[in-house]
Structure formats: C-alpha cells, structure tokens
C-alpha cells in the first residue's frame, strides 16, 4: 500500500521524536515496504491504524520490531563514508596533533554496540594504513562492546560474508582480507588492535570504567532506548570522552533533546559531537 | 591579510576586465519602478515583458517546486500577482545575474554555482524566518548574490583560480584562505568591487564583502551572519559546488552563530540535527529550480 504524504510525515515525526532517527523523503518507498511487512504481522489495515497502534500502550514493543526492519539490523564494513572521510581528513590529524603536543601517543576508540565487529575493524584497517606516517610509534586500542554474546564471538572470529565486505575499498581488501570458500577472513594484523567485551550500556558500574576515549561510535543503538535511558547512556559517553574527542552516532540519527552539553561539528555529509 | 590591501588588489583585477557583464537596463528600471509608491503590477509586467529572457526565466522560476504553486502559472502578470510585488525585485535581480553568468568555464560548472547560490538563498530565508529577521526577501537575495566574486575568478582568473582549487582539494583548507595566499585577495573583495560597479545598495555590498566575517560588518551584521551560516550549512549538505571545498565547522565556535543567538535567544533550542536532515530533503527542489532556469535559457534561444 502506498503511503500518503501526510501519513509519511506523521510517522516520520513520531519515529524522530521517540527514537531520534530521521527519515529522509527519498526513503519514503523504503519505509513503505518495511511498513507493509509490519502491518501484515500486526494485522493493521491502514497506515493510520498502524500509527495508532504504535502510539498505544502496546506500541513500544512494536516500535522495536519496526526499528529492526528499518535499520535492517545488519552492519557492514565502511558503512558511513562521510564520517570516515571526516576522520581521515580532519578529526584524526587534529587529535594526533593535540596528543603529540602532550607527548601522549596513544589512541583509544570505542565501538559501542559493536555487533559482529565491522565498525571496529573498519577503524583498525584505516589506522593500520597510517602506521608508517601519522601514527608511527603510536599505541592503538580499539574496543568493541555489545550486550549480545553471540555477536561478540562472531566479532572475535573475524569471518564475514560477501554482503559485509562489499564496501571495502580494493586497496584495503587486497591487504587485509583473504577469501576462502566464499567466506572473507580478516588478517591477524587487523584483529590485533581490537578487543571485544560484553557490556550492557545501562550498567552504570561498568560504564564508569570505560575511560579516556578519543573517538566513540554508537550507531543505531540509542534508537531503541527511551529518552531517560538515552540521556543516561549519552552522559556516560560524554564523561568517557577525552576533552578533544568526538562522539559519532549513525546516519540520520539525532541527539537533540537528549544531551545539551555536546556541540555539533559539521562536515560534508554529516556531523559529529564534541564536548 | 589586510582587508584594504585585498580590496585594492581586487579593484586592480576587476578594473582590468573590459567586458565585465552588465546588469540589463530592464532590471535596473524594474528596481527603480518598484521604489515608487503605488506601483501597478501591470506596469511592472509591461516593462519586464520587453526582456524576453527575463520573462522566460521568471515563468520557469515561479513554476518550480521551490515556489510550489498549486497550478501552472501561465502569464507573467499572474506570476507577479502570485509572488507579490516584493518578490519581483528578487526575480528581476536574480534572473539578470543568471543572464550575466550562464556559461561553464573550464572545470567550473555554472549550474553548481547557482545551485549553491539558490541553496544559500533558500536557507538564508529559513534562518531569517526563525530568528524573526524583518526582511526575508533581503536574506534570500543576499544568499543568491553572496558568492558573485567566485564567478569572476572562475571566468577571468581561470588558471590562478584553478591553482586555488587544486590547493584545497580534499583538504580542510578554507577557500578564502587559499585565495588570500595565492591571489592576494578573495572572492569577497572581488565581489564587493563588482557590486559597487553595478551600483548595488550598500547593504548588499557589505554582505558580499563580509559574508565570511560577519563580526566585522557594520551596516547589517545580522544579515551577514544569516548568509554566513547558510553558506556553511550548504557547504556540508550537498549544495557545495560538487564538494569543491571541504567545509567543516564547530557551530558553537562560529561568530555568526553567536551574533544570531544574541539576536534571537530562542535559536539555542533549534534542533540542528533535524535542520540538517530537512535541508537534505530540500536539495532536490533547489536543483530542480536551477535546472528549470537553464532550460528556460535554452528555450529563449539566448
């Protein structure tokens, strides 16, 4: 069923206000197809009826399923290109310069909600490429955390399917990926910088020990939290970030109304948050 | 670098060009007519109809998605009624400017220039509205004309300007900084000299000159801040000359942001993230507008 402009706007605003994810008009048809699946499962007949179901007390559970459909719940390497370009062009050189001045040659990166590890390993590959130049003699620590132990073991294994690796630039693919029987294996040097641990972002007693990060990534995770939990978790990220560090959320995500301390830093195709 | 020295250098450069495009007489006459009390739509329409290219472009622009008419507008008089007299000034001026600069030179794509300019015009109007700036039309025109100096450089200083673009390619270096270093002046001062030559009102001259340094403006710093901020946002949301300059900024550090927040404290509550995403959504409309302008240009057989 095709979605009317007014139904689309109503639903888009609802998703934005509750989850902090914006649906671009260009993605209207995508939303439409995802909605039709959920409408079939929930037995709702019209978009309006589905929207009312989402708003009802039983809707919070359904919203999680909808977000799963929308984010496709799948990740891949080199997913957010504008973000990576900004890191390479400006943010990383800037932090390296700051830390060089302090004589503190260690880089700490956190992929929060690391799933099967693609984001953490993407960073590892990018930084490996700078081992002989910008990051010569630097210590690199990349930490991936997730609440789900199954995906953590997958991440530790470092074996991927063709879908996951499809966006990796050839240069990186040649150097760091080996294909075996249709599976793609990461080279040991990429895995060397990265550790994966189980962590519940709600767990204050653990969160306070995740200290001194230069970059924190948390894409498509906060959209599942209610506003109060979001605020609490984001405050932890804020505290755990170096004063000159950057905090990244996923494409189309927003922290508006969640934390008013972070400042936005804009770059072509995206933005990041800074203290 | 010293602003006066850069203006002097710009005057030298602009002064050497003998065939600098002129603004059509009709545009100047329309602007004069609109300054008179009790002007009639019919009179303005009659005057504009003497310039076919201008008429064709006005018709295209008014029917483009950015103005969103509910139905096709088929006559110039209807167009002027639909838009209101205030908008005629902006149309007369902008269609004339497009007329003056409508060809690609070398790698410089004029349509990308106009996409950026109309984008900045549109965003300036939105920001002006948000902060309660009294003259939305002025903000819109300001956005459209802020980068005139860039076209001059791309057309009359091609090689030098290309060297500037090569210097900043994929690097976080500001265009104005590279221009000052390599040319001894920037598109701001060049634009200022052009605007003076064309007898633009002082407020627009200042805007063109200070759109990267709004804190130094004296006539209308708020207008300069509006256009500066729009320029920055367009620079990071695909109305950025095809990524010619790698723009990046920390919003809270920008002088323009401070100026506008002093002007309208409620701006602190602006949902900046959503503002960016909505800007993405508006980009197709801006591109369609520019496409329609250039189509009208071909149809007019110019």
B274 to A16: CB separation less than 8 angstroms, yes or no: yes
Please report which helix (H) or strand (E) contains residue B4, including its range.
Answer: helix B3-15
Residues near A13 by beta carbon (within 8 Å), at least 6 away in sequence: none
Q: What is the pTM of this model?
A: 0.90
| Rounded Cα distance, B114 and B286, in Å | 9
CA proximity to B198, closest of B285, B84, B274, B96? B96
Cα distances (angstroms) measured from residue B293 to each of A165, B43, B72, B286: 43, 24, 16, 11
Query: What ipTM is given for this predicted complex?
Result: 0.93
Measure the CA–CA gap between B44 and B33, rounded to whole angstroms: 7
Assigned token pair, A29: 């048809």
Residues 207-226 of B with CB under 8 A from A: none
Range of the domain at A43: 5-71
> How does B248-281 read in b/e, with b if 16+ C-beta sit within 10 Å?
bbebeebbbbebbbeebeebeebebbebbbebbe
When divided into structural domains, chain A yields a total of 2
Domain annotation covers residue A76: no
Same-domain check for residues A99 and A187: yes
CA-CA distance, B166 to B170, in Å (whole number)?
A: 9
Chain B touched by A89 (CB under 8 Å): yes
Identify whether A34 is part of a domain: yes
Average pLDDT per consecutive 10 residues, chain B (302 residues; last block may be shorter): 93 88 72 76 82 79 72 82 74 76 74 90 93 89 91 91 93 95 97 87 92 98 98 93 90 97 94 95 87 58 34
Q: Could you list the pLDDT tens digit for every one of the 275 residues in chain A?
A: 789 999 999 999 999 999 999 999 998 998 999 999 999 999 999 999 999 999 998 898 899 899 888 876 678 999 999 999 999 999 999 999 999 999 999 999 999 999 999 999 999 999 999 999 999 999 999 999 999 999 999 999 999 999 999 999 999 999 999 999 999 999 999 999 999 999 999 999 999 999 999 999 999 999 999 999 999 999 999 999 999 999 999 999 999 999 999 999 999 999 999 99
Residues A38 and A158 in one domain: no
Convert the pLDDT of each residue in B2-47 to its tens digit. Answer: 999 999 999 999 998 887 777 767 777 777 777 777 888 888 888 8
| Residues B274, A26: C-beta atoms closer than 8 Å | no
Q: Are residues A30 and A130 both part of a single domain?
A: no
Domain shared by A67 and A115, yes or no: no
Q: What is the CATH number of the domain that holds A26?
A: 1.10.155
d(CA A86, CA A126): 12
What is the rounded distance in angstroms from the CA atom of residue A196 to the CA atom of residue A142? 9
Query: Does residue A65 share a domain with residue A24?
Result: yes
C-alpha B135/C-alpha B143 separation (Å) is 13
Question: In chain A, how long is the greatest CA-to-CA distance?
Answer: 63
- Looking at the fold, whether A32 and A99 belong to one and the same domain comes out as no
Is the same domain home to A89 and A60?
A: no
Q: What is the pLDDT of residues A22-61, one digit of tens each?
A: 999 998 998 999 999 999 999 999 999 999 999 998 898 8
What span, in angstroms and rounded, lies between the C-alpha atoms of B186 and B178? 8
Residues A12 and A123 in one domain: no
CB A115 within 8 A of CB A106: no
Among residues A71, A92, A108, which one ends one of the domains? A71
φ, ψ at B262 (rounded to 5°): -65, -35
- Partner A contacted by B272 (CB < 8 A): yes
Q: Are residues A47 and A91 in the same domain?
A: no
Q: What pLDDT is stored for residue B297 in this prediction?
A: 45
| CA gap A58, A35 in Å, rounded | 17
Assigned architecture for domain B105-270: Orthogonal Bundle (1.10)
Is the domain of A105 the same as that of A158? yes
Nearest CA in chain A to B284: A26
Q: Residue A244: give its domain's CATH number.
A: 3.40.50.150
Tokens of A119: 């984001």
Q: Identify the domain boundary among A71, A89, A120.
A: A71
Do residue A65 and residue A86 come from a single domain?
no
Q: Is residue A202 part of a domain?
A: yes
> What is d(CA B173, CA B110) in angstroms, rounded to the nearest whole number?
22
Q: Which of A36, A71, A106 is the last residue of a domain?
A: A71
Judged by CB atoms closer than 8 Å, whether chains meet at B243 and A268 is answered as yes
Cβ–Cβ contact A267 with B under 8 A: yes
A50 and A114 co-located in one domain: no
**Spans of all domains in chain B:** 22-100+283-302, 105-270
């Amino acid at each position: 069923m095709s979605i009317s402009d007014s139904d689309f706007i109503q639903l888009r605003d609802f998703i934005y206000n509750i989850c902090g994810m914006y649906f671009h008009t260009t993605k209207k048809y995508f939303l439409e197809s995802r909605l039709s699946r959920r409408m079939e499962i929930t037995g709702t007949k019209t978009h309006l009826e589905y929207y009312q179901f989402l708003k009802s007390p039983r809707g919070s559970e359904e919203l999680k399923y909808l977000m799963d459909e929308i984010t496709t719940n799948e990740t891949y390497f080199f997913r957010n290109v504008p973000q990576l370009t900004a890191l390479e062009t400006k943010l990383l050189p800037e932090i390296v310069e700051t830390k060089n001045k302090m004589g503190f040659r260690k880089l700490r990166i956190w992929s929060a909600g690391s799933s099967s590890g693609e984001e953490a390993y993407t960073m590892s590959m990018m930084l490996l490429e700078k081992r002989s130049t910008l990051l010569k003699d630097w210590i690199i620590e990349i930490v991936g955390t997730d609440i789900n132990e199954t995906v953590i073991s997958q991440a530790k294994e470092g074996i991927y399917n063709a879908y996951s690796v499809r966006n990796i630039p050839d240069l990186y693919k040649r150097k760091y990926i080996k294909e075996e029987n249709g599976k793609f294996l990461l080279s040991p040097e990429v895995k060397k910088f990265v550790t994966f641990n189980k962590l519940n972002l709600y767990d204050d007693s653990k969160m306070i020990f995740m200290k001194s990060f230069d970059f924190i990534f948390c894409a498509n995770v906060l959209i599942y939290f209610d506003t109060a939990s979001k605020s609490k978790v984001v405050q932890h990220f804020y505290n755990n970030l170096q004063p000159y560090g950057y905090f990244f959320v996923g494409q189309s995500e927003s922290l508006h109304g969640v934390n008013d301390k972070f400042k936005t830093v804009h770059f072509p195709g995206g933005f990041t948050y800074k203290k | 670098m010293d602003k006066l020295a850069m203006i002097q250098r710009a005057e030298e450069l602009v002064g050497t060009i003998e065939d600098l495009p002129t603004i059509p007489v009709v545009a100047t006459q329309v602007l004069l007519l609109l300054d008179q009390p009790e002007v009639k739509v019919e009179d303005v329409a009659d005057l504009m109809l003497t310039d076919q290219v201008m008429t064709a472009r006005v018709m295209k622009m008014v029917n483009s998605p950015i103005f969103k008419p509910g139905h096709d507008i088929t006559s110039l008089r209807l167009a002027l009624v639909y838009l209101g007299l205030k908008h005629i000034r902006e149309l007369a001026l902008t269609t004339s400017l497009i007329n003056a600069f409508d060809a690609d030179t070398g790698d410089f794509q004029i349509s990308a220039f106009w996409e950026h300019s109309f984008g900045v015009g549109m965003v300036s109007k939105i920001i002006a509205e948000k902060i309660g700036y009294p003259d939305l039309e002025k903000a819109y025109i300001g956005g459209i004309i802020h980068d005139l100096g860039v076209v001059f450089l791309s057309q009359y200083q091609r090689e030098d300007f290309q060297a500037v673009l090569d210097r900043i390619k994929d690097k976080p270096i500001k265009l104005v900084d590279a221009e000052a270093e390599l040319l001894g002046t920037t598109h701001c001062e060049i634009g200022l000299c052009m605007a003076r030559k064309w007898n633009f009102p002082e407020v627009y001259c200042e805007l063109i000159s200070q759109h990267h340094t709004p804190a130094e403006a004296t006539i209308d710093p708020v207008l300069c801040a509006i256009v500066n901020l729009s320029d920055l946002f367009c620079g990071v949301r695909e109305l950025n000359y095809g990524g010619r300059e790698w723009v990046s900024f920390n919003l809270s550090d920008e002088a323009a942001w401070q100026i506008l927040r002093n002007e309208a404290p409620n701006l602190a509550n602006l949902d900046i993230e959503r503002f960016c995403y909505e800007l993405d959504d508006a980009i197709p409309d801006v591109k369609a507008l520019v496409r329609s302008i250039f189509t009208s240009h071909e149809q007019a057989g110019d």
